Amino acid sequence: MHKFIPLLALLSALATNASAAPQTLVSTDSHIGFTVKEMGVPVAGQFKQFTATIALDPLKPEQASAEIRIDIGSLSTGTEEADAIALSPDWLDKAHAPVATFKSVAVRALGDGDYLADGVLSIRNQNRDLSVRFHRAAQSDGKTVITGDFVIKRSQFGIGGGLWNEEGVVAEEIPVNVRLTLAAPAQ
């Protein structure tokens, strides 16, 4: 019996560390989208290329970490003209700020699979604190799906300039929706 105690302790430690290890993003089943209102008309878009490194043990959410990196050049609204404007210096300034990031600094459980991640969002090389409420759902195939919504304000990141900032042309608030599918942890 005593021979098994060290083995059980080792297996327990490995299981604990494995559950907190970052899970691999399944990019084909993940999505980061947004909606911009131009003159009251919603224009939906998405970022087609991004990476995410997320480690979340539901038993130890305070030890969780998340980092998401978005390739700004992968923006797509379905219209080449709108995409070109969005990537221009007045908007997302792809040439000088090719990547947007979110990095968590604290995560806390809210109950029923809901969490709140406090972190720093960087767009156009401007950093702003952001709290994102998200839901974590374990899937029967071992994958994890994380979903969340939040709103950014264009003016906080210097997005849009000149005519675009005139009242009523483009809405100040931009809703963002995220769905990240994470592969089952390696066994």
62 DSSP assignment: G
Mean pLDDT of the region 174-187: 92
Mean pLDDT of the region 38-48: 94
More reliable by pLDDT, 121 or 18: 121
Mean pLDDT of the region 15-20: 44
pLDDT in tens, 99-125: 999 999 999 999 999 999 999 999 999
Domains in the chain with CATH codes: 4-182 (2.40.128.110)
Mean pLDDT of the region 52-56: 94
Edge-to-edge strand ranges of the sheet holding 173-182: 50-55, 65-71, 99-111, 114-123, 126-138, 144-153, 173-182, 31-38, 41-47, 75-76
Mean pLDDT of the region 76-92: 95
Residue pointed to by tokens 């809901």: 114
pLDDT of 8 higher than 60 = no
Neighbours of 87 (CB within 10 A): 17
pTM to 2 decimals? Answer: 0.85
Report how far residue 66's alpha carbon sits from residue 145's, in angstroms, rounded to the nearest whole number: 14
pLDDT of 1 higher than 60 = no
pLDDT in tens, 129-143: 999 999 999 999 999
Neighbours of 127 (CB within 10 A): 13
Mean pLDDT of the region 1-16: 40
